[in-house]
Amino acid sequence: MHDSSTTAVQGNVQSEVHGAAHNPALLHHFATEEQQRDSASFGMWIFLSTEVMFFGGLFCAYLIYRLKYFGEFAAASQTLNWQLGMTNTAVLICSSLTVVLAVWAAQHSKRALLLGSLVLTLILGFAFLGIKAVEYAEKFEKHHVPGPSFQFDHVKIPTAPGQPEQFANPSHAQIYFALYFIMTGLHALHMIIGIGIFVWLLFIAWKGRLTPEYNTPMEIGGLYWHFVDIVWIYLFPLLYLIDLRK
Amino acid sequence: MSMATATAQPVERENYLNKHYGVGSWLLTTDHKRIALLYLISITFFFFIGGFFALLIRLELLTPAGDLVQADTYNKLFTMHGMVMIFFFLIPSIPAVLGNFLVPIMIGAKDLAFPRINLLSWYLYIIGGVMMLHCMLTGGVDTGWTFYTPFSTAFTNTKIVEAGLAIFVAGFSSILTGLNFIVTIHRMRAPGMTWSRLPLFIWAHYATSIIQILGTPVVAITIVLVAVERTLHLGIFDPKLGGDPLLFQHLFWFYSHPAVYIMILPSMGIVSEIIACFSRKRIFGYSFVAISSISIAVFGFLVWAHHMFVAGISVYAALVFSLLSYAVAVPSAVKVFNWTATLYKGSIRYDAPMLYAFGFLGLFTIGGLTGLFLASLGINVHVTDTYFVVAHFHYIMVGGALMGYLGGMHFWWPKISGKLYPEGWARLAALIVFIGFNLTFFPQFILGYVGMPRRYYQYPPEFQVLNVLSTAGATVLGIGYLLPMVYFLWSMRYGKPAPDNPWNAAGLEWQTQSPPTTFNFEEEPIVTWEAYNYEELDAPHNEEVPVAR
């Protein structure tokens, strides 16, 4: 219990704390920089677990409808351009490398490497979105966008040799494309947010605010970017590759 | 303790309320205590809106004929009542108000780990709330708060998309609160505040936060799918186009069943604090009560399909979900038995918070046991979609969660406001709430059991007596809820100044001044004692004297 004789004016205590702090980035309610860094990165991990559940609902819906409309999902999946998807996968894996380099550079005061890696990450991010836009445009041309103009008539369901040929039910195939657009669209939205974060990181790195002592924004920004990459690593085989050989 | 005895204070000490003045100092604050008060005002506003809808529902059901409102209006009334009460009152209620205020203080921290995210969560809540208000004022929704497809996506012509987006935004407010609590509890504890010394209020909020961060995103994405399906006329859940309406129900209840535990777990945390304090005993079986919170959160994720027993799920799935639903009763019963054992040979005082805690014990037990009726497949088929279900979940959500919330508001009001509320009025209000509540909802158990279905605005005349009882009870209950608001407001101006520890309670929040300073403690506390060390506090050698009230 406090004794009233030791009552200190709060403002004095605060100014002492701030006066003693080594780093102006240390916020008032943390005792040490280590505590602040741990909290920030732990918070990002918790947020990412939320994101896993967010995408998890969609993955669950995808798997259920894939079991239910196996043929239509195979037929629809085969219309995707896997070469573009593969390229995009490569682009994202490279961007994960540049993010790791940026984090390392921030921790070791390598300014040129830091700025270069951030710029490269941004270029790769934009490249991904560009390729995705090309794919989306293709869907528009083929009338594979769900909605009133959707067409998927007289598309054969891939069957084993000797089996009678079947045609896909367009409204079932439409579910595939709806999920395709929602999942990749949500992923692309995360990419856009990631690009926003990295533009900001580039800005504070340019200003020299990322130092070996304080680089938490780079670290948690990197965590976010890797997470978005990993989502794609699951989306790519599930949407593009899974029915390729049928 | 010198501060507590200094009853006549000529000058008000600096605290979080009087440090800054002006609208800006509130709307841009990052102080968890001020944000808690912002939440308190906002959720009270929505509580009275939701209560107003409830009042209209009860008035319509006063007579068997549909004479007060039309069927469509009635559908909208119970829908908006549910949506407002669940998403804009109950889910944020205890965590965002009392949790926000107390979690950092109870663990000896200066603030939550992310104060700005905390403020952001309030703004998200407000944005969601304004969208919901706009939705209500421009027509509302008539699907029931559950949004069942395909009615919500293909048939109804009400404002599904806007209501859905409002809940989506408010959901992120809830996620951010949960995230903040988890990080704070892990990383911000004062030296010596080990996990086994945490107050049970903290354990309850930790369990709640787990549900908030893992459950809420699932309902968020489900709402997005509903909005997309409705806007673009896709067939994700519409069986006409190949969609699966049961998938919607699975995804919806995956969140919305655990959401019930978001409402009840923090309330259980409050009851643990109150019962220990007013029995002057360490809580019986501390670690069991703590772990039972976590296991309720975990089991809570595995029982959702008991809302779908008659929806056409497989018998085997129903069997498993029935069994798992029974399993949730185990940790809940552990809590109830431990609270009861804490009372045994305690020095019990019947102050208003304790009356609410007693109310909670009885009502939660009734609500929980009728939950077991519903978890058993045979009875479930008989009472599905009847007033039995309505009564059951109101016993949990109002009788349980709301009683706990009110108990907590009384218990910590001296700390929050620095003023004492009028104890006599508070005891009277607790009594009125308890009587009004039972009068409102107990007849509904009988109504449901004899076959009155929910969500109809007319009913056969033989149900009238019980419905009149219920409506009368609702009126009493309404008065019971208005009273605390009146005397809390009154006490802010006219109440006696509160000492730092009016209940002579254990816990760090009682060791700082009332109301606390902006950073809660003048110096970082070091914890060397176990939680609920009432035996030590009350030991004769201790100079600490309970303040006469």
Residues B175-201 pLDDT 10s: 999 999 999 999 999 999 999 999 999
Q: Tokens 């309030």 sit at which residue?
A: B122
Percent of chain B with pLDDT over 70: 96
CATH number of A35-241: 1.20.120.80
Q: What's the average model confidence in pLDDT over B490-508?
A: 94
Cβ separation of A42 and B187 shorter than 8 Å? yes
User: If we measure between CA atoms, which residue out of B163, B367, B339 comes closest to residue B264?
Assistant: B367
Q: Give which of A4, A30, A193, A231 to mutate to test B binding, by max B Cβ within 10 Å.
A: A4
**A124 within 8 A of A94, measured Cβ to Cβ:** yes
Number of other residues whose CB lies within 10 A of the CB of residue B23:
7
pLDDT above 90 as % of chain B? 91
Mean pLDDT across chain A: 89
Report pLDDT digits (tens) over B224-276.
999 999 998 888 999 998 999 999 999 999 999 999 999 999 999 999 999 99
pTM: 0.93
Residue B20 lies in a domain: no
Interchain CB distance below 8 Å, A174 and B234: yes
Closest by CA position to B358, among listed B322, B419, B410, B393: B410
Average pLDDT over residues B314-318: 94
Rounded distance, CA A19 to CA A13, Å?
10
Please give the Cα distance from B492 to B443 (Å, whole number).
38
Contacts of residue B22, Cβ cutoff 8 Å, sequence gap at least 6:
none
Taking contacts as CB-CB distances below 8 angstroms, the residues of chain B near A35 are 187-188
Question: Does the residue B49 lie in any domain?
Answer: yes
Residue A120 has pLDDT above 70, yes or no: yes
Residue B22 pLDDT exceeds 80 = yes
Q: How many Cβ atoms sit within 10 Å of the Cβ of residue B542?
A: 10
Which residue among A38, A49, A175 sits closest to B187, beta carbon to beta carbon? Answer: A38
Whether residue B25 is contained in a domain is answered as no
Position B91 in a domain = yes
pLDDT tens string B377-414: 999 999 999 999 999 999 999 999 999 999 999 999 99
Lowest mean pLDDT among A116-120, B390-394, B524-528: B524-528
pLDDT at position A161: 81
Confidence at residue B542, expressed as pLDDT on a 0 to 100 scale: 52
Q: Is residue B485 one of the residues assigned to a domain? A: yes
CATH of the domain at B270: 1.20.210.10
pLDDT category, A26, cuts 50, 70, 90?
A: confident
Nearest-CB residue to B179 (from A1, A43, A68): A43
Query: How sure is the predictor about A27, in pLDDT bands with cuts at 50, 70 and 90?
Result: confident
Q: How close, in Å, is residue A182 to chain B by CA atoms?
A: 8
Q: What's B499-526 look like in SS3?
A: CCCCCCCCCHHHCCCCCCCCCCCCCCCC
Q: In degrees, to the nearest 5, what angle opens at C-alpha B346 toward C-alphas B343 and B351?
A: 80
Q: Output the CA torsion sign for B88, B133, B32, B278.
A: negative
Residue B120 lies in a domain: yes
Could you tell me which residues are beta bridge partners of residue B453? B386
Phi/psi region, residue B345 (left: phi>0; alpha: psi -120 to 50; beta: rest), is: left
Residue bearing tokens 């009238």: B464
B515 preceded by a cis bond (ω within 30 of 0): yes
CB A199 within 8 A of CB A151: no
* Cβ neighbours, 10 Å, residue B235: 22
- Interface list for A 132-161 with B (CB within 8 A): 146-148
C-alpha–C-alpha distance, residues B518 and B148, integer Å:
46
* Residue A14 pLDDT grade (very low, low, confident, very high; cuts 50, 70, 90): very low
For residue A167, the SS3 value is strand
In which domain, by residue range, is B53 found? 30-537
Q: How far is CA B525 from CA A2, A13, A94, in A?
A: 9, 14, 48
Give Cα B531 distance to the centre of its chain.
24
- Do A174 and B241 lie within an 8 Å CB cutoff? yes
Taking residues A119-137, what's their average pLDDT?
97
pLDDT band at B136 (very low <50, low <70, confident <90, very high): very high
CA-closest candidate to residue B415, choices B505, B532, B500: B500
- Whether the Cβ atoms of residue B167 and residue B87 lie closer than 8 Å to each other: yes
Q: Is the dihedral of CA B141, B43, B393, B486 positive or negative?
A: negative
Sequence-distant (6+) residues with CB within 8 A of B508 are B105, B106, B107, B108, B190, B193, B521, B525, B527
Q: Which residue has the higher pLDDT, B495 or A244?
A: B495
What is the C-alpha to C-alpha distance for residues B43 and B267, in angstroms, rounded to an integer? 16
| Cis peptide leading into residue B502 (ω within 30°) | no
Helices B352-375, B423-449: axis angle to 10 degrees equals 10
Delimit the domains of chain A by residue range: 35-241
Cβ proximity of B260 and B161 under 8 Å: no
The answer to the question of residue B372 being in a domain is yes
Mean pLDDT score of chain B: 93
Q: What's the mean pLDDT in B152-167?
A: 94
In chain B, the residue whose alpha carbon lies closest to the alpha carbon of A186 is B221
Residue B302: strand, helix, or coil: coil
Amino acid identity of residue B150, one-letter, is P
Percent of chain A topping pLDDT 90:
76
B412-466 pLDDT, tens digit per residue, is 999 999 999 999 999 999 999 999 999 999 999 999 999 999 999 999 999 999 9
pLDDT (average), residues A171-196: 96
pLDDT in tens, B360-375: 999 999 999 999 999 9
Structure tokens at B544: 């600490």
Structurally, chain B folds into a number of domains equal to 1
CA separation, residue B358 to residues A161, B343, B468 (Å): 72, 10, 27
Answer yes or no: is B355 within a domain.
Answer: yes
